[in-house]
């Protein structure tokens, strides 16, 4: 039931296109769209992240569907349904009650806070990680005293899938230890018996995590993607506020957006004090053995543990996002399942009222999910919605500027980009959007200055170097344009097909037929069906 509900309530995602970072996070990773390119995905990172399992899933989607969003969304919906089923199985194993497990799994399946993780294809890592981690938890609770080859094969595969999908999985050992002590361990069981059951599982998972970390730090230079606004003071003052806001969103999300506001400058005011009290209360409930039953304490710890990586302790580009709740919310589903189980022991009229309230709550969540899924249909609908609910979002203004550039509305794009820069003056993407608009308005010198400013801040962006090279080519500076393609764009991204074709045209204009043919051959290695490269190479070979 939970799996069907999860698929049905977000079925509108099948009508959605690629939005937000899908054009970069998926399309700009060339090995995803290269026959046999899956091997390269194991040894490459993107945006200071190393998540090869996510990109391998994209590669499989491409093999089946090509570059069509329907197939990518279908895979994400199927994964969401699988996760909802795994939530049900975990809740049932912990509480041994079908009614409670069904209510908790339905709440998870229908919740609108999960729309971002499911409908945004670039959040695929959250789905894969959640499926693997929940599978590990269920497998551990389901296994008997004797664990055969199937158990260890499943445990090894799921451990690798978890850590190679998303970094949050590295918190699983802590959750596993708590689950053993507060859920699985039988009263009076000797520590040695617990250790025999727990330590080998931790060792296998630790080996997978070690391989992942070694590979990650070999490929990606750092663990952060940004800096703390207002320093450590801003971090400390916002941590409890973000935690409590997440809890409130799970009760009922008043605000849903792809870019949620976080006020690092708020300081230690009343909101911080209130949030700290709530967080301290949660800590007391977790640490005091008699305050709550073990399964409830485990649910709260699960929620907190898997939120730790995304609370901003490590600087990341987006300090708060709906998708960050996908895996942690399984812990809150456990609390709801326990409450439903307790309702079965009260008087009939109280039980009826509680079931009616639960049904209304789930219906409200499902309706909100159905409506919000439609917001993700196009980039325009998504960022117009973000700008409406969060006018301070510089990302919304900038992405609307990019859309205006794509339509050729240069004046509107420039105005929108300047609005983004008013909200964040040091935002390189807005510098690029403004430069592109100025180039379209016939101001190439101003455009070049904005391009170079952005590239001095982010020198590793091949797409931005291509914009500069194209600008130089249109200004008649063909030799400099070709040099930019050869020394910057294609050195950063050798499989960049569009840039290869443009570089080949420049080489051909300058009489370098062999250089042009070399570019076309690389294009055909990446895209054997590319008609332009095949035709041009055939003509060049005949002209020998």
Residue 542 has pLDDT above 80, yes or no: no
Instruction: Give the pLDDT mean for 101-116.
Output: 94
Contacts of 19 (CB under 8 A, 6+ apart): 120, 376, 377, 378, 379, 382
Residue 23 has pLDDT above 90, yes or no: no
Place of tokens 């194993």: 93
Q: What is the dihedral of CA 346, 351, 354, 359, to 10 degrees?
A: 140
Q: Which residues on adjacent β-strands are paired with residue 49?
A: 46
Q: Are 34 and 105 in contact (CB under 8 A)?
A: no
Residue 298 to residue 443: CA distance in whole angstroms: 61
Contacts of 351 (CB under 8 A, 6+ apart): 343, 344
Residue 185 has pLDDT above 90, yes or no: no
Residue 509's Cα: distance from chain center in Å? 43
Residue 71: per-residue pLDDT:
93
Q: Are 387 and 397 in contact (CB under 8 A)?
A: yes
Residue 544: per-residue pLDDT:
56
> What are the DSSP calls for 450-461, one per residue?
HHHHHHHH-TT-
Helices (H), 376-427: 379-389, 394-407, 410-423
Residue 166 to residue 246: CA distance in whole angstroms: 20
- C-alpha torsion sign, points 251, 257, 259, 264: negative
Q: How many CB atoms lie within 10 A of CB 531?
A: 8
Instruction: Give the pLDDT mean for 510-534.
Output: 87
Residue 30 to residue 278: CA distance in whole angstroms: 46
Three-state SS for 49? Answer: strand
Instruction: Give the pLDDT mean for 510-527.
Output: 87
Residue 60: per-residue pLDDT:
93
Three-state SS for 510? Answer: coil
Highest mean pLDDT among 227-231, 331-335, 343-347: 331-335
Q: How many CB atoms lie within 10 A of CB 13?
A: 25
Q: Are 492 and 460 in contact (CB under 8 A)?
A: yes
Q: Report the mean per-residue pLDDT for the chain.
A: 88
Residue 88 to residue 130: CA distance in whole angstroms: 13
Q: Are 54 and 102 in contact (CB under 8 A)?
A: no
- Of 314, 57, 26, the C-alpha closest to 168 is 314
Residue 522 has pLDDT above 60, yes or no: yes
pLDDT digits (tens, 9 = 90+) for 151-169: 999 999 999 999 999 988 9
CA atoms within 13 A on the CB side of 211: 15
| % of the chain at pLDDT higher than 70 | 94
Highest mean pLDDT among 87-101, 208-222, 230-244: 87-101
Residue 265: per-residue pLDDT:
67
Highest mean pLDDT among 5-14, 17-26, 224-233, 289-298: 5-14
pTM score > 0.95 for this model?
no
> Greater confidence, 17 or 291?
17
Residue 466's pLDDT band, with cuts at 50, 70 and 90, is very high
Helices (H), 50-190: 52-65, 69-95, 98-110, 115-119, 124-142, 149-163, 172-179
Residue 231: per-residue pLDDT:
64
Residue 264: per-residue pLDDT:
67
Contacts of 530 (CB under 8 A, 6+ apart): 497, 523, 524
Q: Are 74 and 13 in contact (CB under 8 A)?
A: no
- Burial of 138-161, coded b for 16+ CB within 10 Å and e otherwise, reads bbbbebeeeeeeebeeebeebbbb
- C-alpha torsion sign, points 252, 172, 123, 427: positive
Residue 222's pLDDT band, with cuts at 50, 70 and 90, is low
Domains of the chain and CATH, by start: 2-220+240-375 (no CATH), 381-542 (1.25.40.10)
Residue 230's pLDDT band, with cuts at 50, 70 and 90, is low
Q: Are 298 and 183 in contact (CB under 8 A)?
A: yes
- Of 249, 393, 396, 409, the C-alpha closest to 332 is 249
Residue 334: per-residue pLDDT:
93
Residue 351 to residue 335: CA distance in whole angstroms: 17
Residue 220 has pLDDT above 80, yes or no: no
Residue 314: per-residue pLDDT:
66
Separation in Å, CA 315 to CA 234, 235, 311, 320, 355: 12, 9, 9, 11, 42
Instruction: Give the pLDDT mean for 363-368.
Output: 94
């Amino acid at each position: 039931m939970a799996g069907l509900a999860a698929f049905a309530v977000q079925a509108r995602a099948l009508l959605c296109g690629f939005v937000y970072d899908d054009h970069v996070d998926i399309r700009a990773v060339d090995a995803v769209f290269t026959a046999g390119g899956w091997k390269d995905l194991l040894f490459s990172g993107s945006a200071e992240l190393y998540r090869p399992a996510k990109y391998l899933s994209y590669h499989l989607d491409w093999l089946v569907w090509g570059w069509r969003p329907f197939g990518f969304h279908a895979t994400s919906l199927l994964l969401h349904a699988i996760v909802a089923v795994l939530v049900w199985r975990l809740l049932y194993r912990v509480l041994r009650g079908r009614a409670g497990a069904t209510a908790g799994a339905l709440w998870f399946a229908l919740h609108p806070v999960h729309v971002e993780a499911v409908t945004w294809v670039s959040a695929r890592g959250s789905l894969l990680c959640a499926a693997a981690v929940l599978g590990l938890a269920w497998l551990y609770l389901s296994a008997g005293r004797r664990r055969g080859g199937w158990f260890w094969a499943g445990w090894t595969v799921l451990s690798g899938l978890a850590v190679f999908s998303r970094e949050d999985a590295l918190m699983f050992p802590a959750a596993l230890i708590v689950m053993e002590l507060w859920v699985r361990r039988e009263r009076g069981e000797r520590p040695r018996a617990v250790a025999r059951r727990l330590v080998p599982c931790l060792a296998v998972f630790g080996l997978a995590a070690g391989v992942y970390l070694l590979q990650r730090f070999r490929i990606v230079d750092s663990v952060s993607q940004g800096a703390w606004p207002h320093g450590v003071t801003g971090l400390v003052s916002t941590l409890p506020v973000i935690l409590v806001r997440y809890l409130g969103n799970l009760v009922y999300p008043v605000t849903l957006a792809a870019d949620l506001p976080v006020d690092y400058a708020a300081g230690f005011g009343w909101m911080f004090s209130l949030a700290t009290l709530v967080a301290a209360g949660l800590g007391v409930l977790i640490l005091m053995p008699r305050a709550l039953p073990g399964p409830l304490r485990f649910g709260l710890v699960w929620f907190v543990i898997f939120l730790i990586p995304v609370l901003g302790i490590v600087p990341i580009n987006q300090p708060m996002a709906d998708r960050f709740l996908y895996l942690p919310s399984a812990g809150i589903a456990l609390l709801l399942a326990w409450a439903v189980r307790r309702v079965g022991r009260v008087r009939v009229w109280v039980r009826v009222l509680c079931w009616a309230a639960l049904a209304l709550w789930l219906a409200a969540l499902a309706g909100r999910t159905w409506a919000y899924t439609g917001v993700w249909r196009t980039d325009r609908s998504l960022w117009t919605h973000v700008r409406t609910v969060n006018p301070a979002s510089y990302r919304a203004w900038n992405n609307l500027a990019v859309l205006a550039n794509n339509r050729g509305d240069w004046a509107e794009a420039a105005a929108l980009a300047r609005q983004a820069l008013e909200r964040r003056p040091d935002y390189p993407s807005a510098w690029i959007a403004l430069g592109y608009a100025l180039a379209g308005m016939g101001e190439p010198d101003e455009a070049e200055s904005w391009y170079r400013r952005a590239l001095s801040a982010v020198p590793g962006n091949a797409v931005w170097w291509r914009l500069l090279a194209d600008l130089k080519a249109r200004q008649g500076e063909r030799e400099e344009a070709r040099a930019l393609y050869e020394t910057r764009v294609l050195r950063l991204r050798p499989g960049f097909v569009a840039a290869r074709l443009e570089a080949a045209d420049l080489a051909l204009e300058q009489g370098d037929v062999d250089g042009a043919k070399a570019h076309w051959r690389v294009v055909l290695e990446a895209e054997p069906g590319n008609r332009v490269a095949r035709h041009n190479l055939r003509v060049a070979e005949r002209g020998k």
